């Protein structure tokens, strides 16, 4: 059988399995909107673990990270810093977010901030930030999916058709089973992508060099510039190293599709377990990526699009069945992030727009029905975005994690009790000035003085929020006491450290 046919068949087999999982999830779905949007806040450690890691790692981890090692060398092992920091943030901040979500029935980040500040303006700004900086991220995932199917089929499935097929599959199982279907498919995707990237990288390394140690020796002999900082193109300077550590940990955790995972956990113990153990998966996925990128730099130098190094090496040096299995793993990596973003955007639009402003008295069934309609609309938006190449889209995608990170001062004000929390005006001015600074430091003049633009933006955000807080009305004392009192009881009370 032709290699392309094997690879494409395996991807379609994988898609069939995800649809079957969506159908099974649909049979377990109740008419409860919380079940559709938040898995009924019953997600246990195994499911939540795999959905968190699968969602965190997108098509970029599978294809882009190999390209980064290919171009910039071992500097990309900085990825270990931000993935481990994700665990620490989950352990400390995530468990508090889970608690306030459960205690006060929050479903989205805007719910949490809007309630704490008793402010529709804060709610709307948080919802807009949540959507704008993730909806365009759909484009990256959808394009990755179209590209994978196009590569696997040897360009027999056109890019646009491949994107459409995979988007329809993801939207279908999301509409069928809500967050439960997303989580269950993520379990499959999380396992598949991890096994695939490790097996693929080890097979390639052994076939090309005999062993990973020989690969390291050859890199040192032929491309020593790939083994030190800042790398061949000077990319990984101190500012970028520190900036990526902060932005790709705090920024990604604060994106709504990750934050909603905390709300959906069944207990604080589950969230803490995730914090302690997810870094093992998240960081170790970049070890085989290093093998792929560095091997590619030696055997296929000068690629115009370094992100293609993994599939190109596979087609040239691995058996067809293995290539198919691994490209299905790449599909899993992209779909697990895509479905989560589709879901989180649907949740924000359903909860923060439809339920809040359009039809506050909507029935549970009505909310679920509207959620499904919103998924269809998002599907169309995602497809249009994936086949367009607007410069604005590229700009916003570049700012994605750093943009979401501008919610950090507000989230900290809610979750970390302090004598004088940031005021409503402080948070609003902070977010506005942070986003403006982000635009200036990532688009107008990228990363001034070698420091990541996201760090400049967060610094300005926090400084402005603090100064404005000094000269504006403090948040309502009773409301702050209600939330912070409950949090302190949870953290330091008799049931602390569950």
Q: Does 273 bind another protein (CB under 8 A)?
A: yes
- What's 223's DSSP letter? -
> CB under 8 A: which stretch of 171-179, 273-281, 400-408, 478-486 binds another protein?
273-281
Minimum distance from CB of 215 to another protein (Å)? Answer: 10
- What's 418's DSSP letter? -
Q: Does 210 bind another protein (CB under 8 A)?
A: no
Which residues 6+ apart lie within 8 Å of 257 measured at CB? 55, 134, 337, 340, 341, 343, 344
Minimum distance from CB of 332 to another protein (Å)? Answer: 24
Which residues 6+ apart lie within 8 Å of 247 measured at CB? 82, 401, 402, 405, 452, 454, 455
Q: Which of 17, 206, 229, 436 binds another protein (CB under 8 A)?
A: 229
d(CA 482, CA 104): 10
Nearest Cα neighbor of 236 from 86, 68, 84 is 68
d(CA 240, CA 311): 28
d(CA 128, CA 119): 14
Minimum distance from CB of 228 to another protein (Å)? Answer: 5
> CB under 8 A: which stretch of 1-9, 101-109, 276-284, 384-392 binds another protein?
276-284
Q: Does 298 bind another protein (CB under 8 A)?
A: no
Q: Does 228 bind another protein (CB under 8 A)?
A: yes
Q: Does 315 bind another protein (CB under 8 A)?
A: no
Which residue number, 366 or 417, has a Cβ lying nearer to another protein?
A: 417
Minimum distance from CB of 416 to another protein (Å)? Answer: 12
Nearest Cα neighbor of 98 from 201, 386, 90 is 90
Q: Does 411 bind another protein (CB under 8 A)?
A: no
Write out the binding residues for another protein, residues 34-93 only, by CB under 8 A.
Answer: 74, 77-78, 80-81, 84-85, 87-88, 91-92
Q: Does 221 bind another protein (CB under 8 A)?
A: no
Which residue number, 8 or 270, has a Cβ lying nearer to another protein?
A: 270
d(CA 263, CA 267): 10
Count, residues near another protein per rule CB under 8 A: 35
d(CA 101, CA 490): 13
Which residue number, 283 or 326, has a Cβ lying nearer to another protein?
A: 283
Could you count the other beta carbons within 10 Å of the beta carbon of residue 103? 14
Does residue 118 come out as left (phi exceeding 0), alpha (psi in the -120 to 50 range) or beta? left
Question: In this structure, what token pair is assigned to residue 455?
Answer: 């760090």
> CB under 8 A: which stretch of 56-64, 214-222, 321-329, 374-382 binds another protein?
214-222
Minimum distance from CB of 345 to another protein (Å)? Answer: 31
- What's 474's DSSP letter? P
Which residue number, 207 or 217, has a Cβ lying nearer to another protein?
A: 217
Question: In this structure, what token pair is assigned to residue 419?
Answer: 């004598």
Point out which residues bind another protein (CB under 8 A).
Answer: 74, 77-78, 80-81, 84-85, 87-88, 91-92, 213, 216-217, 219-220, 224, 227-229, 238-239, 241-242, 245, 272-273, 275-277, 279-280, 283, 290, 497
């Amino acid at each position: 059988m032709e290699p392309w046919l094997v690879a494409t068949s395996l991807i379609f087999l994988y898609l069939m399995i995800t649809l079957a999982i969506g159908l099974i999830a649909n049979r377990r779905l109740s008419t409860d909107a919380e079940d559709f949007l938040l898995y009924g806040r019953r997600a246990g450690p195994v499911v939540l673990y795999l959905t968190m890691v699968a969602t965190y790692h997108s098509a970029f981890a599978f294809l882009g990270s190999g390209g980064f090692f290919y171009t910039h060398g071992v500097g990309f092992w900085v990825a270990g810093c931000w993935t481990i920091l994700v665990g620490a943030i989950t352990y400390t901040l995530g468990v508090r977010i889970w608690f306030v979500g459960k205690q006060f029935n929050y479903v989205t980040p805007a719910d949490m901030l809007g309630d704490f500040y008793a402010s529709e303006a804060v709610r709307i700004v948080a919802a807009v930030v949540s959507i704008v900086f993730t909806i365009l991220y759909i484009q990256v995932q959808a394009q990755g999916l179209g590209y994978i199917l196009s590569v696997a089929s040897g360009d027999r499935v056109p890019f646009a058709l491949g994107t459409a097929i995979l988007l329809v599959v993801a939207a279908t199982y999301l509409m069928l089973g809500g967050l439960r279907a997303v989580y269950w498919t993520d379990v499959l995707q999380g396992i598949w992508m991890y096994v695939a990237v490790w097996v693929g990288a080890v097979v390639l390394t052994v076939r090309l060099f005999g062993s990973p140690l020989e690969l390291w020796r050859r890199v040192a002999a032929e491309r020593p510039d790939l083994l030190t900082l800042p790398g061949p193109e000077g990319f990984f300077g101190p500012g970028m190293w520190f900036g990526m550590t902060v932005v790709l940990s705090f920024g990604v955790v604060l994106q709504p599709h990750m934050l909603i995972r905390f709300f959906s956990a069944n207990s604080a113990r589950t969230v803490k377990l995730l914090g302690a153990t997810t870094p093992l998966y998240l960081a170790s996925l970049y070890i085989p990526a290093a093998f792929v990128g560095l091997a590619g730099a030696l055997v296929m130098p000068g690629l115009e699009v370094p992100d293609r190094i993994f599939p190109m090496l596979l087609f040239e040096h691995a058996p067809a069945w293995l290539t198919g299995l691994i490209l299905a793993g790449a599909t899993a990596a992209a779909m697990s992030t895509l479905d989560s973003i589709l879901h989180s955007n649907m949740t924000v639009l359903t909860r923060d727009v439809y339920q809040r402003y359009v039809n506050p008295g909507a029935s549970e069934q009505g909310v679920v029905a509207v959620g499904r309609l919103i998924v269809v609309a998002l599907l169309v938006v995602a497809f249009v975005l994936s086949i367009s190449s607007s410069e604005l889209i590229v700009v916003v995608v570049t700012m994605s994690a750093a943009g979401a990170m501008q919610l950090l001062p507000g989230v900290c004000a809610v979750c970390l009790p302090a004598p004088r929390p940031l005021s409503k005006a402080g948070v609003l001015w902070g977010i506005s000035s942070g986003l403006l600074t982000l635009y200036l430091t990532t688009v107008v003049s990228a990363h001034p003085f070698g420091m990541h633009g996201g760090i400049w933006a967060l610094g300005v955000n926090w400084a402005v929020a603090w100064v404005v807080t000094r000269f504006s009305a403090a948040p309502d004392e009773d409301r702050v006491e209600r939330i912070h009192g409950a949090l302190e009881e949870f953290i330091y009370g008799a049931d602390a450290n569950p």
